[in-house]
Amino acid sequence: MNPLRHVFSAAAVATLATALIPAHAQGVIKIGEINSYKAQPAFLEPYKKGMELAVEEINAKGGVNGKKIELITRDDNANPGDAVRVAEELISREKIDVLTGTFLSNTGLAVADFAKQKKFFFLAGEPLTDKMTWQGGNQYTFRLRPGTYMQAAMLVPEAVKLKKKRWAIVYPNYEYGQSAVAAFKQLLKAAQPDVEFVAEQAPPLGKVDAGSVVQALADAKPDAIFNVLFGADLSKFVREGNTRGLFKGREVVSVLTGEPEYLDPLKDEAPNGWIVTGYPWYGIQTPEHKAFFLAYHNKYKDYPRLGSVVGYTMIKSVAAGAAKAKSTETPKLVAAFEGLQVDTPFGKILYRPEDHQSTMGAFVGKTKNDNGKGVMVDYQYFDGAKFQPSAADVKKSRTAD
């Protein structure tokens, strides 16, 4: 017998055996993450940096359950079908342990349904439609950011204080925009029964014809405007609205506009006095936020955006859940996430057992054009736990569970 042949065979067998061991047994926890990186870079480039910072911090402390975290990201082309295809690929080919991510609400819902069919754990970081955790919620899906109902519930008391009767509405015509408008209308009507909605403009996402939209809103002569546009659509709307005087003498309530991703690009066109949700990173003085800001700034030589906080907190949540479960097996991870508490740059949050929605909140304040730069002023942090429907209402709405 050739001894070299025997040695080679033994080595080959050992290599093959190692290759067949599941990834989670090799000292690595694989987090598969799907997002619309090419379509929504303003939010998702800082978001990815936030994720990478969290992975670096966790691994520097020895990982989770003695295993290092590995992050595998994929682009979904802002398309629900592609998102599901990529999710399948991450599970079957990359052998991921946990599925995370998505930005657009329609892609998020598609991946949530996929997770339900596959019985695979999914933590959605960003999609804001209420169907993620309520009307379409399922036992395998959790969501980090406050959804459209929660954000509307934070803004409506400020809208009521304006004492305006005639409202116009503008929103991107897809799942997120529709969900945000439905929540705002419901809550404002309940708080101010005499309110009238005199105009609605719903351009396709990313394709706003700002001139015609602004003119249609102006023609309706509203007292106030509820705006749900973001990104490039928002920039076009603000520019055209400033040019045509739409905002003069009118109050504006605007979801997301205070996020630096969308406020910073407005520069000297940034509006004054809009009531917004956002992220005033320059003014948050809590110890947990200061620590996050310094770590982020030291690594990237840049200031964080809200996406940075979301990406960072999402990965920290997975780590906390896996540590509590002492596993990444879906049933154990689901059980661990129900009631899970996580330390974040905004303070401690909890994932509610009844709907898998986190209690992460949002900052509410007003925009100000500060020497050609948009900032938030007069802001405060609203704890998400105070702006969620009751457990009984959640139970009624989760028909898909």
86, 74 contact by CB (below 8 A): yes
Side-chain-side CA neighbours of residue 27 (13 Å): 4
Lowest mean pLDDT among 136-140, 142-146, 302-306: 136-140
- Mean local confidence (pLDDT), 275-284: 97
Question: Could you give the 3-state DSSP secondary structure of residue 182?
Answer: helix
Residue with tokens 């045509």: 244
pLDDT of the residue at 135: 83
Q: Which pLDDT tens digit goes with each residue over 166-212?
A: 999 999 999 999 999 999 999 999 999 999 999 999 999 999 999 99
287 pLDDT higher than 70 = yes
User: Dihedral of CA 349/375/147/250: which sign?
Assistant: positive
pLDDT of the residue at 396: 79
> H or E element: which one contains 392?
helix 391-397
Phi, then psi, of 275 in degrees rounded to 5: -85, 125
3 pLDDT higher than 90 = no
pLDDT of the residue at 401: 59
Q: Which pLDDT tens digit goes with each residue over 45-77?
A: 999 999 999 999 999 999 999 999 999 999 999
Structure tokens, 177? 């925009």
Please give the Cα distance from 130 to 137 (Å, whole number).
Answer: 9
Please give the Cα distance from 374 to 272 (Å, whole number).
Answer: 8
Residue with tokens 């116009």: 168
The pLDDT confidence band at residue 270, using thresholds 50, 70 and 90, is very high
Lowest mean pLDDT among 33-42, 99-108, 219-228, 382-391: 382-391
Please give the Cα distance from 247 to 225 (Å, whole number).
Answer: 9
Please give the Cα distance from 167 to 359 (Å, whole number).
Answer: 30
Q: Which pLDDT tens digit goes with each residue over 372-381?
A: 999 999 999 9
137 pLDDT higher than 60 = yes
Q: pTM for the full model?
A: 0.91
266, 42 contact by CB (below 8 A): no
Q: Which pLDDT tens digit goes with each residue over 295-331?
A: 999 999 999 999 999 999 999 999 999 999 999 999 9
Residue with tokens 């920290």: 316
Farthest CA pair distance, the chain: 95
Please give the Cα distance from 298 to 157 (Å, whole number).
Answer: 38
Please give the Cα distance from 354 to 134 (Å, whole number).
Answer: 10
Structure tokens, 88? 């399948």
- Mean local confidence (pLDDT), 13-35: 64
Which residues on adjacent β-strands are paired with residue 341? 350
Task: Kindly give the pairing relationship between strand 122-124 and strand 374-382.
Answer: unpaired
pLDDT of the residue at 353: 94
pLDDT of the residue at 4: 41
> H or E element: which one contains 56?
helix 41-60
